Structure 1
Amino acid sequence: MMFKTFLLLLPVALAARPFSADGSEDSSLKAKFDSWASEHSKQYMDSNALGASEEYSIRFGIFSDNMKFIERLVSMGANQTWTMSSTGPFMDLTNEEFKTGFLGFKKTENSNELKQAGFKYANTQAADSVDWRTKGAVTDVKNQAQCGSCWSFSTTGSIEGANFLATGKLVSLSEQQLVSCDTKADQGCQGGLMDNAFQYVITNGGITTESNYPYKSGGGNSGTCDTSKASDHAVTISGFEDVPQNDESALRQAISGQPVSVAVDATTWQFYGGGVFNGVFGYCGTSLDHGVLAVGYDQTASTPFYVVKNSWGGSWGEKGYIRLPTDKGKEGMCGIANTASYPTK
């Protein structure tokens, strides 16, 4: 019942709201919006007849509604173990715009054909806690921007971790190569699947570095493959394995061994600001739409949690990370245990 209330409260796309001639818009709220826009380097152009940017008016209207939306949910106790933030990067977006522009996990028809036999961590005794960031296996948080390329960031993150464990070197790898060149099975800014991307890297003979083939698709254009850069095989993998489905014990066994690519339902993550995310009114869906990287967990905490690296930049969440509670239903919180995999090297 409470989640139905949340759905009814979700902000929707608004028509433009130009400023009134007498300047009666809430000046305090406008000041907050201007400060937020400056912090996130937002620029709204195309002036309307009143001298204000039409896009500015639209975004200010959405920002205002989102502020009210957050205040209402907080007053109702929708976020028991986490902070709902009004300063994150998606305050000027409707929830539909957020879902359309910043997610992108997509299973394909050949998904089942990709599954490989074996789970090398089957006999691993999972540690009570692990954090691969402290061990040097995780690169800085990156930003996919307005492109449904999350799957490529999840893929590079897990390959970066596997390569570190095999060589002792942390090498930042190219998401752009995957977005532009892995086109037979994946769809660039329109979505993809981490297992497909692992297979592409194997077939291609490797993947190049971030510095050699930097990310340019933040505006939503997948781009054309630069074959000369894609042929620079800086890092290779030998295969990949899927974690047993809907088994959080197995997921922690895998994370004990290396960072793991996972798919989640991130529809309700738009205003996450910190804490252990237990959903809105305790609910997070399991319709997988976003690829991320599980880099650790802590079973000894008062509220045990996974540590998940996202690809929405450092201004979102806990400096680009989110914590999800462990052992929450068959598929895990937000479906984290449903579709997890890792490369082998």
Structure 2
Amino acid sequence: MMARLSFSLCAAMFFVGLWLPLVAPRQLEEATMSIRFDQWMAINGVEYESIEEKEKRFNVFKENLRLIESVHADKRSYKLSLNKFADLSLDEFREQYMGLRADAAVGKKAPVGPFMHANLSAPPDTIDWREKGAVTPIKNQEACGCCWAFSAVAAVESITKIKTGNLVSLSEQEVLDCVTGGVSRGCISGLMGEAFRFIINNGGLARETDYPYQSIQGTCDAQKSSSKAGTITGYERILSGDEDSLLLAVANQPVSVGIDGSGFEFKHYSEGVFTGDCGTQMNHAVTIIGYGTADDGTDYWLIKNSWGETWGDKGYMKLKRGVNLCGVAVQASYPDA
């Protein structure tokens, strides 16, 4: 993994005003590219250990910029940006940030129990669980592929708020450290179902402040996990590909889902309803926290990611709904409390 040294926050803020918006595709001179790269480095607090590493990253940056501008030339319903991943190749990005273990068996199974939201015959046209105070702020998994832990914990945080009235930030690190013995492998990959089962068997999950995130798997700490700020009694799977049932579930609570987040456009998503090209390989995990319809009539899912606020629309994404885009309904589950 490449080494980065952080600028001070003040230095980064000083250069924010120099940021240039993306323009239509054109042949950019090397000097112009270099200026934009320096601006990107300042905004993101990045410095490289050697001239050779900087030159390598500059070449990746230029290619990413050209691809972004080619997408914008098509005037799609969404926009991309030179976010914090702009100096990473697609292969590097996938290696560092994709962490969901595809569970083919899950997609073939019916829900664990009777679908608890099946009786909701008329779900609301739109819902945003942030407006109900049931969503914690955006978190950042950093270069640890434990999106599965963040996705599951976000769903548990929300159902805890819905059931108890208390919104508490819970510990992804406890899940990362303590989920062992199954297929989950810490920062390499994991399953939300295993995270849910651990929380059930553990009698709950500690507060994030008691068991803070370290972005690396450590040893399970029983003392830190002794506080139980969020508990669940079980979890249920939604039948693979069933977006109607997924909508009924989201109308009642945020839902943990797998997704194909490995594409270039997903990597650089910034705003709008994403309708981009992506497959159905389950390699990333997020949490659906709502749904709605855009002004142009496009139905969408509202997704909470775990790549920090500098990705997407301050950490969130609108994903086209009704076509199982990016496999959003293939591997979905939610906790009971």
TM norm. shorter chain > 0.5? yes
Cα 1:253–1:223 change in 2 (3 A) is same
Equivalent runs, 1:222-237 vs 2, <5 Å: 222-237=217-232
Contact (CA 8 Å) 1:150, 1:290: kept in 2 or not? yes
**Matching residue of 1:166:** 163
Unaligned runs of at least 5 residues, structure 2: 1-28
**Matching residue of 2:188:** 190
**Matching residue of 2:313:** 318
TM-score normalised by structure 2 residue count: 0.86
2-side partners of 1:251 and 1:321: how far apart? 19
The amino acid across from 1:36 in the alignment is W
Cα 1:114–1:236 change in 2 (3 A) is farther
The amino acid across from 2:31 in the alignment is S
**Matching residue of 2:52:** 54
Equivalent runs, 1:68-147 vs 2, <5 Å: 68-75=66-73, 77=74, 80-85=76-81, 87-108=82-103, 116-124=112-120, 125-147=122-144
Structure 2 residue 291 is matched with structure 1 residue 297: yes
**Matching residue of 1:4:** none
Q: Deviations over 1:79-122 (max 9, x none)?
A: 6211021x211100000011111111113588579962221001
2-side partners of 1:66 and 1:109: how far apart? 32
Give how far 1:70 is off: 1.8
2-side partners of 1:100 and 1:251: how far apart? 29
Contact (CA 8 Å) 1:129, 1:300: kept in 2 or not? no
1-side partners of 2:220 and 2:196: how far apart? 17
1-side partners of 2:179 and 2:110: how far apart? 15
Query: Does 181-190 or 315-324 show the bigger shift?
Result: 181-190
4+ runs of 1 displaced by more than 4 Å? 108-115
Structure 2 residue 39 is matched with structure 1 residue 35: yes
- Tell me, what secondary structure is at the counterpart of 2:47? coil
**Matching residue of 1:204:** 202
**Matching residue of 2:236:** 241
2-side partners of 1:110 and 1:171: how far apart? 32
Structure 2 residue 325 is matched with structure 1 residue 333: yes
Structure 2 residue 265 is matched with structure 1 residue 273: no
Structure 2 residue 30 is matched with structure 1 residue 26: yes
- Tell me, what secondary structure is at the counterpart of 1:308? strand
The amino acid across from 2:164 in the alignment is T
- Tell me, what secondary structure is at the counterpart of 2:302? strand
Q: Deviations over 1:188-242 (max 9, x none)?
A: 100111111000111111110111111111xxx3222222112322211100011
Structure 2 residue 279 is matched with structure 1 residue 285: yes
- Tell me, what secondary structure is at the counterpart of 2:285? strand
Cα 1:212–1:114 change in 2 (3 A) is farther
Contact (CA 8 Å) 2:236, 2:335: kept in 1 or not? yes
2-side partners of 1:200 and 1:118: how far apart? 22
The amino acid across from 1:39 in the alignment is I
- Which of these residues, 148, 153, 156, is aligned with residue 156 of structure 1? 153
Q: Deviations over 1:26-49 (max 9, x none)?
A: 22211211111121121211x3xx
Q: Work out the percentage of aligned pairs sharing the same amino acid.
A: 40
Give how far 1:300 is off: 6.9
Q: Deviations over 1:280-335 (max 9, x none)?
A: xxx3211111100000001475211110000000011100011011111xxx1111
The amino acid across from 1:228 in the alignment is Q
The amino acid across from 2:228 in the alignment is H
TM-score normalised by structure 1 residue count: 0.84
Superposed CA RMSD: 1.8
- Tell me, what secondary structure is at the counterpart of 1:313? coil
